[in-house]
Chain A
């Protein structure tokens, strides 16, 4: 589904240049559950951002679903993001000003889905994560685990082909972490491709593949038995 070749990302600030990705080659097939692991600062987030088209690589090639989008035109990036990709972040990233319902609704709003359809779909996914009773609450009124479930609901509401999760369990206790992990595996079972960054070997064990990174490079790809 995704083919990255020679992808690199260099951050330039006044003082220095940081190479976050140094020529990454990676292929992700439809239906995979890929886990990215590696020490802090090795470029995991940068890779995820590049896959998710929320940051433009410095150089390299990117093929999404057979379409070469290596020129990274803004409009096309927005379109693909909007239609096919959902995000989950370590620190939830819910909008404080919006209610649970409105946070989940946001992607549909930008997809210009009609109001009635939005209502039905948001209800559906909130039920899925068990938060239908909290629709009117603000994020600040929820626990961390609940917030991350809202984030999961927001990631799946647009029916994406691909979900990117950057340390989604990093700020959660074991119970909540397990719940979120459960949701992700269920989604994967339903055919959604998942790429997740995690430090937890336990969760990594549930992946179909583990990609290890050091210093902006992929060390080794260990294909696990399905």
Chain B
């Protein structure tokens, strides 16, 4: 019997090969999205599996609760306080190893006279006993046991020494002499230690960090300093008897005892492979522990697209059932049971779904192989080794077969036996069911389309907030000046003396970079806490960045003090605020001058909020792209000590050489890390551009699938309505009137779908825009334009059909009925 199902399926597929191809391509497009989403989701939850020691390697995740504008939110991050690892090591003897990691990012390193920028981390020696790095030379587990030791990757060794045989040689880092004690090969597989997150080239022992801190602050790193230096904490839990719930409970008890009592903070362990998920969550500004994590969102998006494709398939197949009524009736007449017809039709669907799957699989997996060199690992090898990949695909396949095939199969199976003997068959019209199917597709399409238009609008706004092409070029130096032994005022004075340099200032973090700082503020002493974007700046800041002064004055070294020794209070006594923040305080910028703001002390609530005086108001300046949970308003503090990123305004970009010359004079042994502000902006922007491309791609896919469906349905419906058209024309209807009638009958589901899609798209768009400091206004335009596009494409798709049908010669149709 099954052979019979297969034979019939193949023949039927062959007979209807064109529409089958359309249906299969539609399904394949949907499945492509799903496979890609699944692959990406698995990368989020299964990276680093090869380092995970069967779940024994865990990372500490911090949940810090803050109150912003009256609403409490819990920020989740991978940072944990410096002292935590020590407490765990002392009080949990069952834990096999615990180690901290502190990342410096790319910093200047030198060896044998070569200066270069290399990604550097400091770790406790035990780190090497938690994560088994692929050592090429040195003692794998003990390479960092001695102070002042460093492990290099092969490529770093090659760059520094011209050879990988570098054991025993010296590397100089911020003036400290370190000895190479290990060489590791390229980090295998998808891992947070390769390419993204922590792509380290140098791994130094933690005593180096302690020594550097000692030199910088003149103080020892305090085992009590809970909110000071933050690190990442890795834990190797015992082989047997470990229970996450029990451990987290013990950890909570420990933290309750040792952490400052005012801090609403808790810590949990997450298995190493989950790291990528936590990181992507925070990368996307989702610093709250999201109730729906990104991997699930991805799967849902992939699932929605695949559901769309399924619905589309069901639609086409339902239309085809109409032409198979006779067959179904006849089969029943000669003895087929309802179940057998159901199985026969599902077999056919299965074949098409499998074909679509093969196509999608090829189209997704083969191209991503190209990425192998970019990613540093073969994504196919990674995925194929995961049972969960295959299980998910199998489940998805069965789901697709059922969702796509069940409805048409049931229709086919329920065709009455008597149909075999009827001569004039008009298919039982499932117009209502089909309208819902078409409508669902267009709801999804509309949402994606509107969302992409909003993304385009926001990208345009972001573009405008970027460095102006007409303005003087800005160059950013992101070396740590203190570590480089360069004093800011010396650098400033030297640079201003060099040719072609207009202005020099400094700020806390690079303009247009993705890092933002926020500070908890109160607008009244007893008011609510709001997080406000904060920028600590040095002298000449507003001038160098061309930020217009609206009222009052800006900072001057003579009249304003920097932030004192207490870094938890962040902001200088006198502050400059932007127009947006001023509007929270007074009706005009001028009125805001002289007003008082308060900085809340979240680490120590016993201290009262600290007053700050507004000395000036400046124009809103978009020198940051994303705001995270903070208000889209900025407070500027005068903070030359914290403002360690030098920003230089040049006459023209070829004058950047002046900077190189000054730098090599001031810090000959430190590699200069300079970038044009434009480059920083482009890097940040490319990230949102990518998000936009993904949404637009999805919109495109959804659109294509829906239009394919619409075309097929149009053909089918026109055929079915030939008689009706004939009669209408006999009664005197014009070609135009009939065309309009047909167009309207296809527009109806699109119109209804748009109306359903609008509120959903509005919410999604608002959520997306809330990430940004400068937001595109959410106008009706994307909604209207999206509607016009969908409707226009629908008309294009069915217009020809409608017109051809409308021109039918009534005699022809009626004659044959």
Contacts and interface: CB of A to CB of B under 8 A. Distances in A.
Interface of A: 45, 48-49, 52-55, 74-75, 78, 81-82, 87, 89-91, 93, 95-98, 102, 106-107, 109-112, 154, 158, 166
A53 B420 CA distance: 12
Contacts of B418: 49, 54-55
Given A93-B326, A97-B12, A109-B4, A55 B416 contact: yes
A67 to B, nearest CB: 18
Nearest to A75: B337
A77 to B, nearest CB: 8
Nearest to A52: B333
B15 A97 contact: yes
B170 interface: no
Contacts of B329: 54
B11 interface: yes
A53 B334 CA distance: 11
Contact of A110 (B12, B15, B340): B340
A54 B335 CA distance: 10
9 cross-chain pairs, A with B, having the tightest CB-CB distances, nearest first: A82-B335, A110-B335, A55-B418, A54-B417, A97-B11, A107-B334, A49-B418, A54-B418, A110-B336
Contact of A106 (B334, B416, B423): B334
B16 to A, nearest CB: 10
24 contacts: A48-B421, A52-B333, A54-B417, A54-B421, A55-B416, A78-B335, A78-B336, A81-B333, A81-B334, A81-B417, A87-B334, A89-B420, A89-B421, A96-B15, A97-B8, A97-B11, A102-B4, A106-B331, A109-B1, A109-B4, A110-B331, A110-B340, A112-B1, A158-B335
Nearest to A112: B1
A216 B399 CA distance: 48
A215 B634 CA distance: 89
A36 to B, nearest CB: 13
B301 interface: no
A226 B697 CA distance: 79
Interface centre among B330, B334, B335 (most CB of A within 10 A): B334
Given A54-B329, A55-B416, A87-B420, 20 more contacts: A45-B421, A49-B421, A53-B417, A54-B332, A55-B418, A74-B338, A75-B337, A81-B332, A81-B334, A87-B333, A90-B423, A91-B423, A98-B11, A102-B4, A106-B331, A106-B334, A109-B4, A110-B335, A110-B336, A166-B421
B619 interface: no
B330 A95 contact: yes
Contacts of B416: 54-55
A95 B327 contact: yes
A55 B4 contact: no
Contacts of A74: 338
A110 B334 contact: yes
Contacts of B331: 95, 106, 110
Interface string B416-454: 111011010000000000000000000000000000000
Nearest to B1: A109
Given A93-B326, A97-B11, A112-B1, A78 B421 contact: no
Interface in B246-301: none
Interface string B335-356: 1111010000000000000000
A85 B416 CA distance: 17
B333 A111 contact: no
A78 B334 contact: no
Contacts of A102: 4, 7
A55 B340 CA distance: 19
B351 to A, nearest CB: 14
A166 B418 CA distance: 12
Nearest to A45: B421
A78 B332 contact: yes
Interface centre among B12, B332, B418, B423 (most CB of A within 10 A): B418
Nearest to B327: A95
Contact of B8 (A53, A55, A98, A110): A98
A117 B462 CA distance: 76
B337 A54 contact: no
Given A87-B420, A95-B330, A97-B8, A111 B338 contact: no
B422 to A, nearest CB: 8
A85 to B, nearest CB: 9
Interface string B719-751: 000000000000000000000000000000000
